[in-house]
Amino acid sequence: MAGAAKRELEDLRMIEVLKREPNIEGGEDLPKTINGSFLGIRRISCLLGTMFALVVADGLISNFLVAHGIGQEWNPFLQILISQETFLPIKVAGALLSALILRNIYRKRPQMALIASVCIVALYTLIVYWNLGVFFIAQV
């Protein structure tokens, strides 16, 4: 029994050494590696950057459409603000705050943050395409 426990401890130490080694081949069966966590951080950073850009694009296009009488804001909370100059700064601040909150969630629950980020990016992609469609239809 003592021999088995000693081998298990040695295996755990070896895994820790292997996790610190960046150029290991065949390390697919290891737990989370340095490269795996780096790719996860990179993935969430790209998603959050895309989310931020889409929210800002939505704000710019919505502001333009409402200012020129082509469209209207459907969000009842933002309908009051869209005609004011504070609309875009509030939209940018909200997008930045959302990105920071999702980044913080990613530290404790990475899968939940990734799923939420992908859903938000998909939703805002649809919203931006909708706004662009309204703009191009109005121009025709």
Output the 3-class SS for 37-81: HHHHHHHHHHHHHHHHHHHHHHHHHHHHHHHCCCCCCCCHHHHCC
At 35-66, the pLDDT tens digits run 455 567 888 999 999 999 999 999 999 888 88
Looking at the whole model, is its pTM more than 0.95? Answer: no
At 81-138, the pLDDT tens digits run 777 788 889 999 999 999 999 999 998 999 999 999 999 999 999 999 999 998 888 8
130 Cβ neighbours under 8 A, 6+ residues apart = none
pLDDT value at 76 more than 90: no
What is the rounded distance in angstroms from the CA atom of residue 140 to the CA atom of residue 109?
47
What is the rounded distance in angstroms from the CA atom of residue 5 to the CA atom of residue 25?
27
pLDDT value at 25 more than 60: no
pLDDT value at 70 more than 80: yes
pLDDT of residue 17: 59
